[in-house]
Amino acid sequence: MSEYSNDFKLNAAMAAIVLSGGVIGYAKSKSMPSLIAGSVFGLLYSTSAYYLSQGNSKVGLGVSVLASSLLGGVMGKKAIATSKPIPIILATGSAITLLSSGKELYNIHKN
């Protein structure tokens, strides 16, 4: 795991952030879409972190790229439309995760 420990930490952090965000969104406004999206993306980022911790970097990084692309697209669109801080933070976090994981996945496939 040491080679991809930063990606592991980044994905574990994103899992915690999106899952807690979904729970908070539900608690504040009874938003089922927030709870479902937070759970799904939390599960995807957790899966990525798990595979990275087990040394299966291709799967872990691939899941991370998938989750970050989807979350970044949805939250990026919402951030542009609303200028609210939560979508901006999630879009930025997913972009950072996408760049990091994408770079590492590219390097694996390049070799």
Percent of the chain scored above 90 by pLDDT? 91
Give the burial string for 3-27 (b: 16+ CB within 10 Å, else e): ebeebbebbbebbebbbebbeebbe
pLDDT at 111: 75
What's the pTM? 0.92
Query: Is pLDDT of 57 > 90?
Result: yes
| Contact predicate 48/67, CB 8 Å | yes
